[in-house]
């Protein structure tokens, strides 16, 4: 394939900890989902640049118990692998029993129940191997398949631990052994093992998932080690690239395409200009990899750029980051709810979406308010919907820019004393207030719009010809660094209802 230019991130908006797997000429990629439902989105691509959401690995409560989990708890980093006709995905639910594996023969269909793995730590990964184990009576070679499981926790302190498992049940088949302590950075995590040539390669992330993040590489001729470190670790980092518009790159996974070219997908962030704050979450980036003296050189000598070149396996198209749903044929795959919410509370048919609200509002920190959201994919977007004035008093029906229960902005309509109102409300830390309000007719519907850029979320409504800007809130209020010291997600643009029914007509989100 000839060299092509492509844009990073390849999957924009909150999509961290990517893991990639190729089967033939098809690439599949999964990312972390935390408290959002369904869990572990699966994307498909032919060219590594344009990715389509095709399914989720975790689609029911048995696979994904999130009740009462905190924001950024729940589902951490997944790994996707394919072996002998079966797909395997291993991941941690830190709010349930830890590490587990699910499998399926149809990546677009339903996945199995979890097989829990008795090994500590997070960021589990699988490595499969077929080896000669003897010869039959007729002299024919006999092979044995082995599945190895690694994660970053065990009895002997921080590092990477390995055992054998039954990948269908999760049963551990050997003792967990520490195989690496990392290469000196804090928080060795995100281990993936590959067999390339004569070596087992152990790729991991070190430095923590913030601005010190990076990828390191080790190799050994024995899967249990000892592993030697690449002489120029970290093989990818921006920790010394202050001012670069892409930061915190790390947590990657390698793949070889059908033409023998190598690639890494990893996470990175795009801070708001001139700041060390980011609102879009950790996103998925792609970089070409070449091998030099048996070690990988990632991207531009260990750096990633917004515009890169590589021998892509298919023709890349310009990214289409828009999204719309006319609610005519059920809900589109992109919508997520919070934790374990009743699916019956969201009904899309004949062009309207009905959301049944409960007593929890969006401030519920570990709760399940009636919220349906899509990831904000770019800084500058415009999202619109039409909402009907609720029939019942106290019911709120609206649209939100939502990070978590303690950090969000809302524009909603409610019927109260003396009429119906459209309100803008903010919740930032423990500050909550309605910051603007306008009276609207008690009958019929109105349109709501959120416009976002790197400075503000602006909230508009329209009952006739012209949009009215009701209020705005700073983008900086919904950034990972502001929300918490341990938060891993990004902003969603959502629709919601509180106490009673809310009816919406159409939703669209476009770049502007």
Chain contacts with ligand 6LW (rule: CB under 6 A)? 16-17, 32, 76-77, 122-123, 189-190, 205, 209, 250-251, 267, 488
Closest separation in Å from C-beta 210 to ligand 6LW: 9
Closest separation in Å from C-beta 158 to ligand 6LW: 13
- Measured CA to CA, the distance from residue 45 to residue 314 in angstroms comes to 9
Query: For ligand 6LW, which is the closer residue by CB, 102 or 470?
Result: 102
Closest separation in Å from C-beta 264 to ligand 6LW: 14
Q: Determine whether 34 is exposed, middle or buried from the number of CB atoms within 10 Å of its CB (0-12, 13-18, 19+).
A: buried
Please report the sign of the dihedral spanned by the C-alpha atoms of residue 464, residue 469, residue 470, residue 474: positive
Query: For ligand 6LW, which is the closer residue by CB, 49 or 91?
Result: 91
Closest separation in Å from C-beta 461 to ligand 6LW: 36
**3-state secondary structure at position 344:** helix
Check: CB of residue 154 under 8 Å from CB of residue 175.
no
- Measured CA to CA, the distance from residue 450 to residue 457 in angstroms comes to 7
Token pair of 189 as six digits: 């995590």
* Pick from 245, 260, 208, 210: nearest CA to 8: 245
Query: For ligand 6LW, which is the closer residue by CB, 189 or 361?
Result: 189
Q: How many CB atoms within 10 Å of residue 384?
A: 19
Active site residues: 17, 189
Query: For ligand 6LW, which is the closer residue by CB, 218 or 445?
Result: 218
Closest separation in Å from C-beta 238 to ligand 6LW: 13
Query: For ligand 6LW, which is the closer residue by CB, 87 or 488?
Result: 488
Phi-psi category of residue 481: left, alpha or beta, with phi > 0 → left and psi -120 to 50 → alpha: alpha
Closest separation in Å from C-beta 248 to ligand 6LW: 8
Closest separation in Å from C-beta 208 to ligand 6LW: 8
E strands within 223-361?
228-229, 236-237, 247-256, 262-269, 283-292, 295-298, 307-310, 323-325, 337-338, 346-349, 352-357
Query: For ligand 6LW, which is the closer residue by CB, 32 or 233?
Result: 32
* Pick from 115, 30, 44: nearest CA to 75: 30
* Pick from 315, 323, 251: nearest CA to 49: 315
The H or E element containing residue 440 is strand 431-440
Query: For ligand 6LW, which is the closer residue by CB, 21 or 312?
Result: 21
Which residue number has the CB closest to ligand 6LW? 209
Query: For ligand 6LW, which is the closer residue by CB, 31 or 395?
Result: 31
SS3 readout for 374-416:
EECCCCCEEEEEEEECCCCCCCEEEEEEEEECCEEEEEEEEEE
- Measured CA to CA, the distance from residue 310 to residue 116 in angstroms comes to 39
Closest separation in Å from C-beta 94 to ligand 6LW: 9
* Pick from 326, 155, 328, 152: nearest CA to 251: 152
Check: CB of residue 180 under 8 Å from CB of residue 171.
no
């Amino acid at each position: 394939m000839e060299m092509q230019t492509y844009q990073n991130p390849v999957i924009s908006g909150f999509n961290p900890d990517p893991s990639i797997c190729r089967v033939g000429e098809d690439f599949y990629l999964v990312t972390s989902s935390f408290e959002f439902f369904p869990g572990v989105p699966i994307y498909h691509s032919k060219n590594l640049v344009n990715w389509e959401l095709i399914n989720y690995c975790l689609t029911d409560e048995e696979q994904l118990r999130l009740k009462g989990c905190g924001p950024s708890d729940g589902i951490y980093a997944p790994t996707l692998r394919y072996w002998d006709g079966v797909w395997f995905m291993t991941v941690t639910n830190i709010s349930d029993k830890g590490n587990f594996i699910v499998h399926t023969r149809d990546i677009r269909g339903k996945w199995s129940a979890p097989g829990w793995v008795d090994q500590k730590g997070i960021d589990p990964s699988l490595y499969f191997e077929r080896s000669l184990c003897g010869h039959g009576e007729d002299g024919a070679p006999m092979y044995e398949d082995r599945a190895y499981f690694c994660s970053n926790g065990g009895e002997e302190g921080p590092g990477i631990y390995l055992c054998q498992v039954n990948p269908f049940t999760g049963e551990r088949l050997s003792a967990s052994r520490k195989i690496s302590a990392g290469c000196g950075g804090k928080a060795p995590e995100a281990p993936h093992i590959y067999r390339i040539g004569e070596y087992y390669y152990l790729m991991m992330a070190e430095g923590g998932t913030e601005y010190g993040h990076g990828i390191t590489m080790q190799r050994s001729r024995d899967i249990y080690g000892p592993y030697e470190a690449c002489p120029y670790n970290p093989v990818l980092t921006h920790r010394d690239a202050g001012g670069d518009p892409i930061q915190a790159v790390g947590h990657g996974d390698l793949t070889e395409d059908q033409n023998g070219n190598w690639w890494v997908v990893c996470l990175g962030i795009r801070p708001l200009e001139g700041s060390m704050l980011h609102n879009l979450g950790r996103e998925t980036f792609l970089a070409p990899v070449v091998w030099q003296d048996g070690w990988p050189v990632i991207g531009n000598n260990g750096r990633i750029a917004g515009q890169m070149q590589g021998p892509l396996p298919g023709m890349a198209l310009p990214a289409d980051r828009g999204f719309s749903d006319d609610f005519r044929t059920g809900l589109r795959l992109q919508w997520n709810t919070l934790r374990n919410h009743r699916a019956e509370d969201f009904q899309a048919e004949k062009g309207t979406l009905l959301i049944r609200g409960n007593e929890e509002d969006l401030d519920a920190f570990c709760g399940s308010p009636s919220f349906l959201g899509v990831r904000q994919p770019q800084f500058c977007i415009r999202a619109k919907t039409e909402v009907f004035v609720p029939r019942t008093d106290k019911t709120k029906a609206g649209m939100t820019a939502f990070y978590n229960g303690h950090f969000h902005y809302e524009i909603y309509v409610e019927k109260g004393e003396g009429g119906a109102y459209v309100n803008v409300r903010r919740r930032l830390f423990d500050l909550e207030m309605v910051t603007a309000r306008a009276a609207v007719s008690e009958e019929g519907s109105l349109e709501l719009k959120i416009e976002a850029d790197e400075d503000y979320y602006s909230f508009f409504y329209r009952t006739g010809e012209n949009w009215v800007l009701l209020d705005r809130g700073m983008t900086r209020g919904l950034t990972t660094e502001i929300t918490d010291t341990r938060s891993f997600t990004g902003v969603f643009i959502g629709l919601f209802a509180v106490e009673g029914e809310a009816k919406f007509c159409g939703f669209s989100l476009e770049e502007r």
